[in-house]
Amino acid sequence: MKPFLIFDFDLKSDLSNWKIVNDAVMGGVSESKIYLNANGEGTFEGKVSLENNGGFCAVKYTFEPLILKSATHFCIRIKGDGKQYQFRVKTHRTDSHSYVFPFQTTTDWQTIEIPITELYPAFRGQKLNLPNYDGSNLEEITFLIGNKKEETFQLLIDSIEAK
């Protein structure tokens, strides 16, 4: 399958469908933001706090439904900070659960290939007894950091593709 570009960051990217969701939704005080840096890369950065039972920061991108048909992988081109993050997708943005794939970053640019069928269902950090993601529909993508410790972070995102 020819790669299908889901989002490509550049200096003219519209970030209006990218939203920050931090642990404040459950009383936490973690902080994060998403913006375009001088090179046009999506920059997701902030500080995770464990205060008030918090512990995560996330940025989610919602869009009109995509049917991935013959795609077998998501490919994310990112530059991290050596920390672990999660790539999450939702079949429908109203679903309570997400499909999750943890990945480790280095401090260099890397392309991470995520097998679609390895995204497992989870809700609030708990794995669910449901089938893994099948790629039939896609309405939301999220990057999340929540390593059960206080830390600052920065993840640069260049592009997200399905192939």
| Tokens (6 digits) for 68 | 């991935």
Average pLDDT over residues 46-50: 97
Q: Could you give the dihedral angle defined by the CA atoms of residues 62, 64, 65 and 67, in that order, rounded to the nearest 10 degrees?
A: -110
pLDDT in tens, 100-159: 999 999 999 999 999 999 999 999 889 999 999 999 899 999 999 999 999 999 999 999
Q: How big is the chain by its Cα radius of gyration, in Å?
A: 15
Question: Which segments of the chain are extended strands (E)?
Answer: 4-8, 18-22, 31-36, 42-48, 57-66, 73-79, 84-90, 98-104, 109-115, 120-123, 126-127, 138-145, 151-162
Strand partners, 149: none
Closest CA to 162 of 70, 62, 84: 70
Ramachandran region, residue 26 (left: φ > 0; alpha: ψ -120 to 50; beta: rest): alpha
Q: What SS3 class is residue 52?
A: helix
pLDDT in tens, 61-101: 999 999 887 899 999 999 999 999 999 999 999 999 999 99
Residue with tokens 């001088």: 38
Q: Is 26's pLDDT higher than 90? A: no
CA separation for the pair 120, 115 (Å, rounded): 11
Q: Is 17's pLDDT higher than 80? A: yes
Q: Please report the pLDDT score of residue 69 as a whole number.
A: 79
Strand partners, 57: 22, 145
70 compared with 7, residue with greater pLDDT:
7
Q: Is 6's pLDDT higher than 80? A: yes
Q: Is 1's pLDDT higher than 70? A: no
CA separation for the pair 63, 136 (Å, rounded): 15
| Tokens (6 digits) for 59 | 């940025």
